[in-house]
Structure 1
Amino acid sequence: MNCSIGNWKHTVLYLTLIVSLLYFIESLISHKLHINYNKIRLKRSPNLPLRFRDDGTFKILQVADMHFGMGMITRCRDVLDSEFEYCSDLNTTRFLRRMIESERPDLIAFTGDNIFGSSTTDAAESLLEAIGPAIEYGIPWAAVLGNHDHESTLNRLELMTFLSLMDFSVSQINPLVEDETKGDTMRLIDGFGNYRVRVYGAPGSVLANSTVFDLFFFDSGDREIVQGKRTYGWIKESQLRWFQDTSIQGHSQRIHVNPPALAFFHIPILEVRELWYTPFIGQFQEGVACSIVQSGVLQTFVSMGNVKAAFMGHDHVNDFCGTLKGVWFCYGGGFGYHAYGRPNWHRRARVIEAKLGKGRDTWEGIKLIKTWKRLDDEYLSKIDEQVLWETSDSFLK
C-alpha cells in the first residue's frame, strides 16, 4: 500500500514538472506560434483612378536617385566640409517633405536607385524610410528600379513586389493580361516594374471617366554582358511590344487621338549622348552612362507618337532636358544626399505639370505639359521652367 502511494506521488510530481516545463517553453515562443491579429492590416490604397484636379491640372514630382541607406547613420557624400558632420539620409527625407509641402503633387515618381543596396542591411526597412514621406502625406506614388536597389537583401522581383504592396503605391510588378481560362495572368516580359498608370479627366467634365493622360514605367535593368563587354541594362524588345500594344488599347471613344503620354525609367538610352551637340535646357556635367546597345526606345516612341517626354535618373549631376526627334528626354537631377554629387551644387527635384484645355463648358484633354526644377536651398529655388508640349487641337469628336 505504501509503495503504491509513493509511486502515485512520484507520478504527480513528474507530471507537474512536465506541465511546468511545457508552460515555460510555450511562454517563450508563443509570440511566434500565435497570430497577432492586432498587427495584421490591409494596404492603404490611394483614391483611384488618378484624375486631374478641378482646376484642370495634374502635377508629378520626380525623385531621382535617393540612394537611401540606413537613415541617421548613413553619411552624406559630396557636400561642403561645414555640412558633413550633421548630414545624413535624414537630409534626403527633409528635402522630400519640403517638396511635398511646397508643390502638393498628385503623384510622386521615384525613378530608381531609391536605395543604395550596399549601404543597407535591410532593403525593405530602407525602402519604408526612403518613401516614408509620401506615405505620411497620403500621396499616390509609383516607382521603378535602378541599378543599385537590388544590391542588398531583396532581388528585383522581391523589391517590386514589396513596392507594389506599400501604402498608397500604384506600382506594379508587371502588366497583367486577361486569360479566359486562368483569369488575369502576368505578361511574360523582361524586367520587373513595367506598367501603365492612367489619369482620368477632371471631376464633372465630359472626360471624367476617360483616360486623358498615360504614364508608362519601364525597368531599364542594371548590368549585363554584351559580346564580352560589361555594360548597363536597357529596355528590351518585349517591353517595347507591351508598350505598343498597351498604347492603342482601352481609350475612350470620345477621344479621336491617343492621349499624351510620359515615360519614366532609370538608365538613359544611348541616343541621349547626342544631346551634347544640340540646344538643351539645364546642366550637362557628366558623360551619359548607358548601355552600348541600341534599344529601339526612341524609334518606338516616335512611331507611336504618344510619348511627349521621358524622365530618367542615373547620372546625378546632369539635370538637362533636350529633344530627340520631337521627344523630350529629361534628367531629374540627383535628389539624395548619400548619392554622389558636387559640393555646393544643390540636390534637386523635377516637377512636371499637365494642364487641360477648356472647352465651351467643360474641361477637355491635355493642352499643355511643362516642367521645372527646385533646388534644396533656403528658398527651394525654382529654375529652368519650360514647356515640353502644347497643342491647340480639340480632343473631342
Structure 2
Amino acid sequence: MGHARRSMHGICQLLTLFNQFTHFEPVFCKSVPKLAFNDEGTFKVLQLADLHYGHFPELDEHTDKVIANLLEYEKPDFVALSGDMVSGFAWDGRQGWFEERWRQLTAPIAAARVPYGLVLGNHDDEADLMRVEIVTLDARLRAQGSMTKVGPKEAIGLSNYYLDIAASRSSAASAARIWMLDSGGLGCSWISAGSGCVEKPTIWWMNRTQQHLPKVPSLAFVHVPVPEFMDLWNRGAARGSKHETVNCPMHDSRLFRAAREMGVSAIYSGHDHDNNYEGVLDGVRLAYGHKTGYGSYGPPPGWGHGGRVVLLRRGQDAAQAETWIRLENGALLHQSKNPRYAAGRQTVCEPGPFFCSEYPFEPVCKPGWRHAVAELWQRRMGYCLLVLLALACGPVVALYLYRRKRRRALKGTIDGKGSL
C-alpha cells in the first residue's frame, strides 16, 4: 500500500510539470498528501510577514537575503506567506510588474525546495493584477512548491483554503491542518472603514467544510489580526512588543469565537509591522509574525528583520505549539512579558489604511468625519445614539399616529351622520 502511494506521488510530481502548460491536475493527485510530520513527529512552519516587495530594487535584494537566511537557519517544512507580499501601491504602471516581483520573492523558497502557500493582504492587489489573478498565478507554480489554491465561490475572498498535514511520510492519515484565510482589502461587512476581515460567509464555509473532515489540531494564518489581539495585550498575557495600535477590523466578524468552536486553536497574523507579540487567550494562541521584508515601514529600530517559526508536534494542541522568532542574522529574538503593557492598552481598532496614504517609509494619516463616526460606532456608542434617537422621535411619532387616528375617527363619524 505504501509503495503504491509513493508511486502515485511520483506520477503526480511528473504531472505538475505538465500542469504548467495545461493548467490541468488530476483529481487523484489533489488528494495525495504533500505535507507530513517527520520521523521525530514534528512539523515546522516559517511565517514570512509583510515582505512588501516593489519599493526599490535595493530593498528587495535585502529581503531576498532575509528569506534565504531564514530558510537556511530553520529548514522549515512549510512557508506561510501571510499577506502584503508585494506593495501594490508602489506600482510603476507597467504590465507584468507584479509577476516580476512575485517570481523574485518566491525564488529563494523554490531554490530551498520548500512548499509554501499564501494568503492575500490588503496591498497585494493594488498593482496590475487583481486578487483572482494573483492566486491563479501562484497556484500554477506547483513545480516550484506552491500549494496555494483558489478559494471556493461560497467564501468571500480568493485565498481561502486548507492544507492537511499527514501523520508521517508513509501515511495519508491527516494529523494536523493549516487554514489559510483571506481577510480582504479595506472594510469589513457593512463598515467600509478600517481594515478588512474574514467575512461571515467564509466562516460559514469553514464550519461546513470542517464537519466533513477528521478532527485534528488546527491553526490558521490570516493577514489582518482579529480584535482579540487587543484583549490579549490588555490582560498582560502577551510575550513580545507592541509599538503600534492593533489594526483589526472595525466590525468584528467573530472569527475568534468561531475558530475556537471549530477546534482551530491558533491564529497567526501580520499587517501590523511594529507588533510581534503572542500569547494564549481563552485556549487560542494569537501571534503576530515578525516584519520580514525591507519594503514599507518597520520594524522599529533595533528589532531586525526576521520571521516567526511554529513547531508543531504530532498529536499536540496547536495552541501549545512552540513558537519563536528567528532574525536575519541567525539570532533568536527573546520575547518575554512586557511589564509596561498597560501603556499600550487599546479598546478600539485602529481605523487603518482607509484613512491613510501609505508612503514607502511611513504612513501619513488624515482623519476625517468618517473616522469619527466609525470610531464612535466601534465604541458601541452607535447603539446609544439609536436609543436616544428613538426616545427623541418617539413622542413625535406617537403624536402623529394619535392625530391620524383621531382624523379617521372624526371622518367616520361625519360620514355616519350623512352630509348636508
Q: Give the TM-score normalised by structure 2.
A: 0.68
Aligned to 1:98: 69
Aligned to 1:190: 156
C-alpha spacing 1:240/1:264, structure 2 compared with 1 (3 Å): same
Q: Which moved more, 1:227-236 or 1:242-251?
A: 227-236
CA–CA separation in structure 1 for the residues paired with 2:275 and 2:128: 29
For residue 280 of structure 1, the aligned residue among 238, 251, 257 is 238
CA–CA separation in structure 2 for the residues paired with 1:330 and 1:367: 10
Count matched residues: 305
- Matched-pair contact (CA < 8 Å) for 1:373–1:385: no
- Matched-pair contact (CA < 8 Å) for 1:120–1:126: no
For residue 308 of structure 1, the aligned residue among 262, 265, 268 is 265
Q: CA deviation at 1:195?
A: 0.1
Letter in 2 for 1:203: R
CA–CA separation in structure 1 for the residues paired with 2:106 and 2:277: 25
Given the alignment of the two structures, is residue 336 of structure 1 paired with residue 321 of structure 2, yes or no? no
CA–CA separation in structure 1 for the residues paired with 2:234 and 2:136: 40
Query: Gaps spanning 5+ residues in structure 1: where?
Result: 1-39, 76-87, 176-186, 252-257, 358-363, 387-397
Letter in 2 for 1:220: S
Q: CA deviation at 1:317?
A: 1.2
Letter in 2 for 1:66: L
Cα deviation per residue 1:202-249 (whole Å; 9 max; x = unaligned)?
A: 135xxx221110110110011137767522111111110111122221
Aligned to 1:139: 114
Aligned to 1:222: 185
C-alpha spacing 1:120/1:130, structure 2 compared with 1 (3 Å): farther
Aligned to 1:27: none
CA–CA separation in structure 2 for the residues paired with 1:323 and 1:58: 20
Q: What is the 5 A alignment of 1:140-289?
A: 140-166=115-141, 167-175=144-152, 187-204=153-170, 208-224=171-187, 230-251=193-214, 258-278=215-235, 279-289=237-247
Given the alignment of the two structures, is residue 372 of structure 1 paired with residue 324 of structure 2, yes or no? yes
- Matched-pair contact (CA < 8 Å) for 2:42–2:312: yes
Q: Which moved more, 1:293-302 or 1:59-68?
A: 293-302
Given the alignment of the two structures, is residue 290 of structure 1 paired with residue 248 of structure 2, yes or no? yes
CA–CA separation in structure 1 for the residues paired with 2:122 and 2:309: 23
Cα deviation per residue 1:110-159 (whole Å; 9 max; x = unaligned)?
A: 00000111224411110111121111111100001101101110011111
C-alpha spacing 1:42/1:99, structure 2 compared with 1 (3 Å): farther
C-alpha spacing 1:294/1:368, structure 2 compared with 1 (3 Å): closer
Given the alignment of the two structures, is residue 61 of structure 1 paired with residue 46 of structure 2, yes or no? yes
Cα deviation per residue 1:258-289 (whole Å; 9 max; x = unaligned)?
A: 10000001011122222221211111111001
Question: What secondary structure does 2:321 align onto?
Answer: strand
- Matched-pair contact (CA < 8 Å) for 1:216–1:262: yes
C-alpha spacing 1:366/1:159, structure 2 compared with 1 (3 Å): closer
CA–CA separation in structure 2 for the residues paired with 1:368 and 1:202: 20
Aligned to 2:275: 318
- Matched-pair contact (CA < 8 Å) for 1:62–1:349: yes
CA–CA separation in structure 2 for the residues paired with 1:60 and 1:91: 22
CA–CA separation in structure 2 for the residues paired with 1:286 and 1:302: 26
Q: CA deviation at 1:324?
A: 2.6
Q: CA deviation at 1:385?
A: 9.2
Aligned to 2:358: none
CA–CA separation in structure 2 for the residues paired with 1:330 and 1:196: 19
- Matched-pair contact (CA < 8 Å) for 1:212–1:366: no
Aligned to 2:397: none
C-alpha spacing 1:74/1:268, structure 2 compared with 1 (3 Å): same
Question: What secondary structure does 2:259 align onto?
Answer: helix
Root-mean-square deviation over aligned CA pairs: 2.6
C-alpha spacing 1:300/1:191, structure 2 compared with 1 (3 Å): same
C-alpha spacing 1:345/1:239, structure 2 compared with 1 (3 Å): same
CA–CA separation in structure 1 for the residues paired with 2:308 and 2:278: 11
Q: CA deviation at 1:376?
A: 2.1
Percentage of pairs with the same residue: 29
Q: CA deviation at 1:332?
A: 0.2
Cα deviation per residue 1:168-206 (whole Å; 9 max; x = unaligned)?
A: 11111114xxxxxxxxxxx322111000100001135xx
- Matched-pair contact (CA < 8 Å) for 2:186–2:192: no
C-alpha spacing 1:383/1:169, structure 2 compared with 1 (3 Å): same
CA–CA separation in structure 1 for the residues paired with 2:302 and 2:113: 32
C-alpha spacing 1:365/1:237, structure 2 compared with 1 (3 Å): closer
Letter in 1 for 2:328: D
- Matched-pair contact (CA < 8 Å) for 1:74–1:119: no
Q: Give the TM-score normalised by structure 1.
A: 0.71
Greater percentage in helix:
2
Question: What secondary structure does 2:334 align onto?
Answer: strand
